[in-house]
């Protein structure tokens, strides 16, 4: 096994080896520069680095007054809010460990993490989160205090565990004024080898595990990325992805604190598009589904546009497809195309980038799942430097990055600076470097199993390194199986090909130890709904639309294209999809069908919809099914439907 190494890691900032020290440094050298902005009451409110530091100190002192000590765990739950980011720093100042939770997790998921991490104090965004925590209080004896950021609706709550963040900050400010040395000493006690944060794995298989990362790991990963893309303290990013996700922690917390650039918190999760446009970030990160959503919206709006506009758009998008990516990569392009592209830039690409809020983007990354070729090419061809990266929670999302000018659709880049990669005999990707996890929290067994004898972290992904030195991912190693006739079956690979169609939102492929490949499909309600409207096809909701014969015909076309595509791949030739069905309900994380990062839990789905799977492998044309669904408020109900099954 050969080891492939990234270039040498850039030097770490001297003496600034923990996040609290980095924060103090920024407050000293760029105190008046914006650190966090948040849109509130329709206006962007700015917190400078000095504000960030001062508030984090106050929260830290407030926590100390609550009896929060070195090594204690602090849960943080909520949308991206300035004071929640500050709470991470506050917790680290005291040597505590922030535990990040997904804000849309249901009470029992939250309870699991609170018990597992034995959380002592929780800082949460609002009433919604408080309600969930109060519900789990009986099963989480370690939880002593729940602190809420937004007091709205909290007036009649009188539980002794509750406290407003304003109150905590006020108490902390007094404490810090009276004995400033206390916190200074605490910050000095911090070591770079301390655990800086706990992020839970999404748990595609089994219960989530708490990944403990040190200051050193995240600073190393952040620093490497900053040098790789030459980021400065003048970048602007929009922090809109869940704070519990490793990507957001890397970009919005670690990199912001290492480079000293400003993060911007959207007004609400519904205003992200408007906020994106107002901020005009220079550095942007989104999983493929967000880019997909953007493209779908552009396409829907173009279909509703006037004929002239549509013609112009189609013409110039054809020009962009021909030469846009080449121009971005500074490769030679015929003069005529170059001129046409320049015209298109004025008429279409520039305004389009502006509408998308991407006028100022220097570097954009996507990761977390495979990105569709058309999608990837679309963004690159209109002049957005969209690149791919590869990493996971256990590696601070820092393993491979695509260098400018070497962008490949099917690859995820070269090993990042300071990272070593090797491919094991079974095809598994293994990585080594300072960014790998310190441990799974209280799971020495799992920690030991995660590393091989040479200290490489075993990612569980199957892949290979191409001749160009870039890593390519095939699938989750344990998902790769075989059909009964011995054909290789890579479910993710097939699902991604299906999901590249804007009409298909989710797909689940079956085939391991079966005679042929079959698939569940979720249609995209926006895209297919708009398509149906334009055809005058009436429908009452998702379930109704999903079972229309016209929609089946539409999806059958997509499946046929995927099959044609699979035929061209020598390894996948026999893996064509024979039968499919459109599910009567959307797969949802609340029902346990997706992880919070929206990955399908294949095994769980197969069990839950067992009658449908059986039907796919028989010759029936429809199947009745009843399923339990959970509503957002935690109640549950039942959906029943007769689902059609189609041959592809």
Partner 1 sequence: MARTIGDVILDLQNISLSFGGVKALTNISFNVRQGEIRSIIGPNGAGKSSMLNVINGVYHPQEGRIIFMGKERRKMNPHEAAAQGIARTFQNIALFKGMTVLDNIMTGRNLMMKRNFLWNALYWGPAQRDEIAHRKRVEEIIDFLEIQHIRKVPVGRLPYGLQKRVELARALAAEPKLLLLDEPMAGMNVEEKQDMCRFILDVNEQWGTTIVLIEHDMGVVMDISDRVVVLDYGRKIGDGLPNEVKNDPEVIKAYLGAVH
Q: Which residues bind partner 1 (CB under 8 A)?
A: 39-43, 152-153, 155-156, 267-268, 270-271, 274, 632-633
State whether the Cα torsion 8-250-109-61 is positive or negative: positive
Rounded to a whole number of angstroms, the minimum distance from the CB of residue 90 to partner 1 is 25
- CB nearer to partner 1: pick between 150 and 194: 150
Provide the pairing of β-strand 414-415 with 145-148. unpaired
Query: Which residue number, 519 or 545, has a Cβ lying nearer to partner 1?
Result: 545
Least spacing, CB of residue 154 vs partner 1, in Å: 9
Nearer to partner 1, 162 or 556 (CB): 162
Q: How far apart are CA 149 and CA 91, in angstroms?
A: 15
Pick between residue 126 and residue 229 the one whose CB is nearest to partner 1.
Answer: 126
Minimal distance, residue 143 CB to partner 1, in Å: 23
> Please, which residue, 28 or 632, has the CB nearer to partner 1?
632
Q: Toward partner 1, which CB reaches closer, 536 or 541?
A: 541
In total, the chain counts a number of residues equal to: 648
Sequence-ordered list of residues with C-beta below 8 angstroms from that of 306, at least 6 positions apart, any chain: none
- Cβ at position 231, least distance to partner 1 in Å: 30
Q: Where are the alpha helices (DSSP H) in 357-426?
A: 373-381
Q: How near is the Cβ of 152 to partner 1 at its closest, in Å?
A: 7
Residue (274 or 636) nearer to partner 1, CB: 274
Minimum CB distance to partner 1, residue 189 (Å): 39
Q: How far is the CB of 294 from partner 1 (least distance, A)?
A: 16
* Parallel, antiparallel or unpaired: strands 428-432 and 439-440: unpaired
| 80 DSSP assignment | S
| DSSP, residue by residue, 455-508 | S-EEEEEEEEE-TTS-EEEEEETTT-EE-TTS-EE-HHHHHHHHHTSTTEEEEE
Do residues 73 and 182 lie in contact, with contact meaning Cβ atoms separated by under 8 Å?
no
Q: Which is nearer to partner 1, 118 or 267 (CB)?
A: 267
d(C-alpha 376, C-alpha 370), whole Å = 10
Q: How buried is 281 (Cβ within 10 angstroms: 0-12 exposed, 13-18 middle, 19+ buried)? A: buried
Q: Which is nearer to partner 1, 445 or 633 (CB)?
A: 633
> Burial code of 212-226, b = ≥16 C-beta within 10 A, e = fewer?
bbbbbbbbbbbbbbb
CB of 534 to partner 1, least distance (A): 18
CB of 270 to partner 1, least distance (A): 4
The Cα–Cα gap between 617 and 639 comes to 23
Contact present, 162 and 130 (Cβ < 8 Å): yes
Nearest to 240 by CA among 107, 124, 80: 80
Dihedral over Cα of 391, 397, 400, 404: its sign: positive
Q: Which two tokens stand for residue 193?
A: 């080898």
**How many beta carbons lie within 10 A of that of residue 187, not counting itself?**
19
Q: Give the nearest distance from C-beta 272 to partner 1 in angstroms.
A: 9
Number of Cβ within 10 Å of residue 179's Cβ equals: 13
Residue closer to partner 1 (CB basis): 38 or 461: 38
Residue nearer to partner 1 on the CB measure, 269 or 621: 269
What distance in Å separates the CA atoms of residue 451 and residue 430, rounded to the nearest whole number?
A: 9
Query: Which of these, 395, 419, 474, lies nearest to 3 by C-alpha position?
Result: 419
CB of 150 to partner 1, least distance (A): 10
Strand partners, 162: 146
CB of 269 to partner 1, least distance (A): 9
Q: How near is the Cβ of 527 to partner 1 at its closest, in Å? A: 19
CB atoms closer than 10 angstroms to residue 410: 12
In angstroms, what CA-CA distances link 405 with 372, 380, 387, 569, 631?
Answer: 19, 11, 10, 27, 46
| Token pair listed for 216 | 């050193």
Query: Would you say 191 or 268 has its CB closer to partner 1?
Result: 268
Query: Which are the contacts of 290, defined by CB distance < 8 A and separation ≥ 6?
Result: none
Closest to partner 1 by CB, 272 or 458:
272
In the three-class reduction of DSSP (H, G, I as helix; E, B as strand; rest coil), residue 189 is classed as helix
Q: How far is the CB of 40 from partner 1 (least distance, A)?
A: 7
- Which of 43, 346 has the CB closer to partner 1? 43
Which residue's CB is nearer to partner 1, number 152 or number 230? 152
End-to-end CA gap in the chain: 41
| Smallest distance from partner 1 to CB 130, Å | 14
Give the pairing of strands 504-510 and 488-489. unpaired
């Amino acid at each position: 096994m050969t080891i492939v190494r990234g270039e040498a890691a850039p030097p770490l900032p001297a003496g600034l080896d923990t996040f609290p020290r980095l924060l103090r440094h920024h407050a000293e050298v760029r105190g008046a520069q914006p650190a966090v902005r948040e849109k509130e009451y329709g206006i962007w409110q700015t917190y400078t680095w000095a504000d960030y530091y001062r508030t984090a100190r106050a929260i830290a002192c407030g926590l100390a007054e609550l009896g929060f000590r070195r090594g204690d765990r602090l849960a943080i739950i909520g949308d991206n809010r300035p004071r929640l980011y500050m709470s991470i720093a506050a917790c680290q100042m005291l040597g505590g460990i922030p535990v990040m939770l997904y804000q849309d997790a249901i009470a029992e998921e939250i309870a699991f993490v609170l018990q597992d991490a034995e959380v002592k104090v929780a800082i949460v965004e609002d009433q919604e989160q408080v309600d969930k925590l109060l519900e789990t209080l009986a099963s989480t004896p370690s939880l002593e205090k729940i602190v809420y950021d937004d007091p709205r609706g909290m007036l009649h709550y009188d539980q002794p565990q509750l406290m407003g963040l304003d109150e905590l900050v006020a108490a902390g400010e007094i404490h810090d004024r009276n004995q400033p040395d206390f916190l200074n000493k605490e910050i000095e006690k911090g070591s770079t080898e301390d655990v800086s944060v706990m992020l839970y794995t999404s748990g595609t298989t089994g219960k989530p595990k708490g990944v403990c990362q040190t200051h050193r790991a995240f600073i190393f990963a952040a620093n490497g990325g900053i040098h790789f893309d030459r980021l400065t303290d003048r970048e602007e990013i929009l922090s809109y992805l869940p704070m519990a996700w490793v990507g957001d922690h890397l970009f919005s917390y670690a990199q912001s604190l290492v480079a000293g650039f400003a993060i911007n918190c959207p007004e609400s999760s519904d205003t992200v598009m408007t906020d994106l446009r107002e901020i005009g970030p220079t550095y942007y990160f989104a999983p493929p589904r967000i880019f997909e959503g953007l493209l779908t919206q552009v396409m829907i709006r173009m279909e509703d546009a006037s004929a002239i506009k549509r013609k112009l758009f189609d013409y110039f998008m054809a020009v962009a497809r021909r030469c846009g990516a080449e121009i971005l990569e500074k490769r030679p392009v015929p003069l005529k195309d170059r001129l046409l592209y320049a015209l298109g830039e004025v008429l279409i690409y520039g305004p389009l980038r502006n509408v998308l809020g991407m006028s100022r983007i220097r570097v954009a990354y996507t990761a977390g799942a495979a990105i569709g070729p058309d999608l990837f090419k679309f963004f690159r061809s209109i002049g957005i430097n969209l690149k791919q990266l590869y990493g996971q929670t256990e590696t601070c999302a820092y393993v491979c990055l695509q260098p400018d000018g070497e962008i490949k659709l099917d690859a995820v880049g070269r090993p990042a600076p300071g990272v070593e990669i090797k491919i094991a005999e079974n095809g598994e990707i293994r990585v080594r470097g300072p960014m790998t996890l310190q441990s799974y929290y209280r799971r020495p067994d799992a920690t030991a199993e995660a590393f091989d004898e040479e200290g490489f972290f075993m990612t569980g992904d199957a892949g290979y390194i191409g001749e160009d030195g870039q890593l390519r991912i095939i699938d989750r190693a344990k998902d790769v199986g075989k059909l009964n006739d011995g054909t290789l079956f890579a479910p993710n690979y097939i699902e991604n090909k299906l999901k590249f169609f804007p009409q298909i939102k989710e797909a689940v492929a079956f085939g391991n130890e079966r005679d042929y490949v079959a698939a569940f499909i979720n249609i995209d309600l926006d895209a297919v709904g708009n398509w149906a409207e334009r055809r005058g096809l009436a429908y009452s909701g998702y379930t109704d639309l999903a079972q229309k014969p016209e929609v089946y015909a539409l999806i059958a076309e997509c499946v046929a294209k995927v099959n044609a595509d699979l035929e061209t791949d020598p390894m996948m030739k026999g893996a064509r999809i024979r039968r499919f069905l459109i599910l009567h309900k959307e797969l949802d994380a609340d029902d346990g069908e997706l992880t919070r990062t929206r990955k399908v839990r294949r095994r769980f789905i197969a069990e839950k919809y067992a009658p449908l799977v059986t039907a796919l492998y028989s010759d029936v044309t429809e199947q009745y099914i009843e399923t339990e669904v959970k509503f957002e408020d935690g109640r549950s109900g039942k959906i029943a439907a007769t689902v059609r099954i189609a041959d592809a």
